[in-house]
Amino acid sequence: MAAAAIYSLFIINKSGGLIYYKEYGSAGRMDTNDSLRVASLWHSMHAISQQLSPTVGCSGIELLEADAFDLHCFQSLTGTKFFVVCEPGTLHMDALLKVIYELYTDYMEMPIRCELFDLNLSQAVQKDRVALLGR
């Protein structure tokens, strides 16, 4: 069963440290150093965008649209950031990020951790499940 057009998922803590990284695209997994670098790059850009924003109370970049990809970012009130890199125009990514936040709180705290989180995450990103988020 194909995943929705998602290339990768990152979860970073409020200091910019990488908590979780998953590659879904066919380009293959980034090595650890690169993924850490990408995570802290995004963390910095996100923080700077809040300072640069002309609107008061801006909470940072939510959507970045580029030629080859879209990047959707969700920041919880506790400062943890969830961002997904996907095909341009992919729908329901905001809703998906909220679902991932819930899964994260359910599974990342228990000793079993990553395995269950991975399992539920791969179900959540399935094309047909993502499509349901639009209803």
Partner 1 sequence: MPAAAPRSGDAIFASVEHVTCSALQNAELFTLTYGAIVRQLLTDLEEVDEVNKQLDQMGYNIGIRLIDEFLAKANVSRCVDFKETAETIAKVGFKMFLGVTASVTNWDADGTCCSIVLEDNPLVDFVELPDTCQGLYYCNVLSGVIRGALEMVSMKTEITWTRDVLRGDDAYELQVKLLKLVPEEYPYKDDE
Question: What's the closest the beta carbon of residue 101 comes to partner 1, in angstroms?
Answer: 5
Give the β-pairing of 81-86 and 70-75: antiparallel
Give the span between the Cα atoms of 112 and 62, in whole angstroms: 31
Minimum CB distance to partner 1, residue 85 (Å) = 22
Contact between 120 and partner 1 by CB under 8 A: the answer reads no
| Sole binder of partner 1 in the list 102, 114, 131, 132 (CB under 8 A) | 102
Using the contact rule CB under 8 A, the part of the chain among 28-36, 61-69, 88-96, 102-110 near partner 1 is 102-110
CA distance 3 to 126: 4
What's the one-letter identity of residue 36? L
Can you tell me which of 79, 114, 131, 132 binds partner 1, judged by CB under 8 A?
79
Which is nearer to partner 1, 57 or 134 (by Cβ)? 57
What does residue 65 show for φ and ψ, rounded to 5 degrees? -110, 120
41 binds partner 1 (CB under 8 A): no
CB 52 within 8 A of CB 43: no
- Contact residues for partner 1 (CB under 8 A)? 13-17, 44, 47-48, 50-51, 76-80, 98, 101-102, 104-106, 109-111
